[in-house]
Amino acid sequence: MAAEAAAWFVAATLLGFACHQAALHGTDWRWLVLWLEQPGTVHPQHPGYLVLGRGLWALLAPFGADAYTALRLLSALGGGLAVAATFAAAERLAADRGFARAVALATAGTPVVCHFATVVELHAPFLGLAALANLAAVAWAQRHSAACAVATGALTGLATTVHATGHLLVPALWGAVGLALGFGSWRRALGQGLLGAASHALVWGGWFAAIRALGHLPESVTAFATTAPDDLAAPDHPLAYLARWWRGMHLLEQGPATLRVEFLVALAPVSLLAWAALGRRPLRRFALWFAAVAALYIVVTVALVHARTDERGAYLIPLAAPAVVLALRALPRRTWPLLAAGSLLCGGLLRGEPGRLPPDLAFGRAAAALAEQEPLVFFVADLPEMDGAFRCNPRLELRVARKEYDDLLQDPQLRAAASEPQQVVAWLLGVIRADAVRRGARLCITDQAVDYLTARLPAFAAAWPQFLQVSRAERLPPAVGIAGVRVP
């Protein structure tokens, strides 16, 4: 088993690295790269991730790898470890190598696993450690061993330092082990469970405290304490972060969209097929427990995303393997190849953020080169220009027309002012240009940003020539490689 598990690890890691997505996920990747490049910087909620990233980068740096490449490989390694540990857990669970192989294939293909193993984010490395905890929990249920309970707790604690949602693994795994042990062994299970919970708390708490004591929080986080203490990103530890986001949760309004995007799509097809286990008496109690755990995860996810962002199932990623196991155990063996193939197909089709285009790296290289000559703030259109700029130099100063437009829509006064050309000119001068001046830089506005706002603000087309005249903006020469203007 060990040799085949190692083979699964190598194959899944290489495939994840080779299939890395050109398009990015979210915007946190930029901060992860920046913080990794700053010695001693600690992630405020998930400190273990940067420790793993720094260790891997130290190994790769002599070969010329940059921070982004190190984190890219870390995601692939996390996905590979998750697949290998899931294979080993399934083989131990059923003593059936064919079943274990089907579980490994279907888990690897689940869209949420396929996605996060191929982007820079925290969730694949977290899943790898969570999968090791699953393996330890299976051993705990089979051996009735206090040592296995302690090992399970230690691994969930370690996983929780990489992503704070690892705390949810404790009720999820402990309940599953209790069901496996049965009512006759609950007294023993309770004592072992307390040992495991203590192990989880000690490992997580000790490791969290040690990393925080030896490092320092990023300036971008500590600045919130004085400039924006009520900002959603201001909390410097996970419980405060969850409590802050919990305020804006509206479960009935935001729950259905979250259920569809973060569970049904992200875990397809097993998000639907797993419920076949309810029709099988030996599996029913586990299916009901899975439903309870999934409900807990979904409520937490609603609090964290508010149905505003598409996280591709990030916070529900530990549910992928249990859903696969339930689906396979409930369905006839002859259907296992079809389920594994269907999962791989869903992973290939559904990974990636809908509509997220690859970074405009040509623009990014030109912007990075121009910024080396003088301080500049770039006013760009949308994600391709933003991603291209940050991929080439995550320290570039940007304002993004897409976000500015969204802010205009949310502010009634700004929205009303944007209907008049003179007010648009005043906004460009008093907000956009003034921000660059405060940073001691000149403003560079791309043609794509102008096109973006012209298509959305009726007054922008008339306001733009006035702004060019008032600001004395000059056209960038073609040799620069950026279509746009620079404002003195």
Instruction: Say if residue 345's pLDDT is above 90.
Output: yes
Question: How confident is the model over 17-66, as pLDDT tens digits?
Answer: 999 999 999 999 999 999 999 999 999 999 999 999 999 999 999 999 99
Report yes or no: 254 and 241 within 8 Å, Cβ to Cβ.
no
Taking alpha carbons only, the member of 359, 322, 413, 316 closest to residue 119 is: 359
| Whole-number Cα distances in Å, 315 to 163, 237, 319, 328, 421 | 9, 17, 9, 23, 44
Report yes or no: 412 and 475 within 8 Å, Cβ to Cβ.
no
Report yes or no: 64 and 70 within 8 Å, Cβ to Cβ.
no
Strand partners, 212: none
* pLDDT above 70: percentage of residues in the chain: 93
Helix (H) or strand (E) holding 378: strand 376-380
Rounded Cα distance between 256 and 298, Å, is: 10
Mean pLDDT of 411-417: 65
Rounded Cα distance between 68 and 74, Å, is: 10
φ/ψ of residue 329, rounded to 5: -70, -25
Instruction: Say if residue 424's pLDDT is above 80.
Output: yes
Rounded Cα distance between 315 and 112, Å, is: 10
Rounded Cα distance between 187 and 27, Å, is: 47
Q: How do beta strands 376-380 and 442-446 pair?
A: parallel
Of the pLDDT bands very low, low, confident and very high (cuts 50, 70, 90), residue 286 is very high
Give every CB contact of residue 443 below 8 A, 6+ residues apart in sequence.
376, 377, 379, 432, 433, 436, 486, 487
| Whole-number Cα distances in Å, 374 to 367, 411, 430, 473 | 11, 33, 22, 16
Strand partners, 487: 443
Question: How confident is the model over 146-172, as pLDDT tens digits?
Answer: 999 999 999 999 999 999 999 999 999
Instruction: Say if residue 334's pLDDT is above 90.
Output: yes
pTM of the full predicted structure? 0.92
The confidence score (pLDDT) of residue 208 equals: 94
Least confident of 233-242, 338-347, 363-372: 233-242
Q: Is 127 helix (H, G, I), strand (E, B) or coil?
A: helix
Report yes or no: 367 and 392 within 8 Å, Cβ to Cβ.
yes
The confidence score (pLDDT) of residue 182 equals: 75
Taking alpha carbons only, the member of 340, 274, 346 closest to residue 107 is: 340
Question: How confident is the model over 90-103, as pLDDT tens digits?
Answer: 999 998 999 999 99
> Does residue 477 have a cis bond before it (omega within 30 degrees)?
no
Question: How confident is the model over 455-485, as pLDDT tens digits?
Answer: 998 889 999 999 999 999 999 999 999 999 9
